[in-house]
Amino acid sequence: MATPYMLQNMYDSSVYLCQERIWHQIIDTAFQRGFQPVGTRLDYYYELDLVWDTETTFMEKIFTSIMTHARCLNWNKYNFKDRENQIVCDEDCSELLYVLQDILPQDLKDFFSKGSFRICSD
């Protein structure tokens, strides 16, 4: 069985668990209905914190910082399906609510209405 998506609100840290099949249907349906996202983004400092090692040399720290920055800059902003700790912005939450208002369950509507959230990695 597939692992559910863990969506974590950026304001109050509340978590919504969504089955993989359902999350993919939500995103696919949104795009079919004309969803025009601002796009997801990676949080540089969050990403850097995941790979930072205080025991490395200065040069290794510089390299790690540059590689993390490059990963963030090259991020595919239309990626709503991979679990890479990307952030869905407030504007996209509002747009998802608008284009999917007739099919979203109430608990997911409530979660989206709280604003930005992170699609957590496994």
pTM for the complete prediction?
Answer: 0.90
Interatomic CA distance for residues 10 and 122, integer angstroms: 18
Mean pLDDT of all residues in 3-21: 96
Whether residue 1 has pLDDT greater than 70:
no
Rg of the chain over Cα atoms, rounded to whole angstroms, equals 16
Please state the rounded mean pLDDT for residues 42-65.
92
Nearest Cα to Cα of residue 7 among 103, 81, 58: 81
* pLDDT per position as a tens digit, 70-122: 999 999 999 999 999 999 999 999 999 999 999 999 999 999 999 999 999 97
d(CA 8, CA 118): 5
Can you give the pLDDT at residue 2? 82
Domain positions in the chain are: 1-41+78-122, 44-76
DSSP state, residue 20: H
Round the average pLDDT of the chain to a whole number and report it.
95
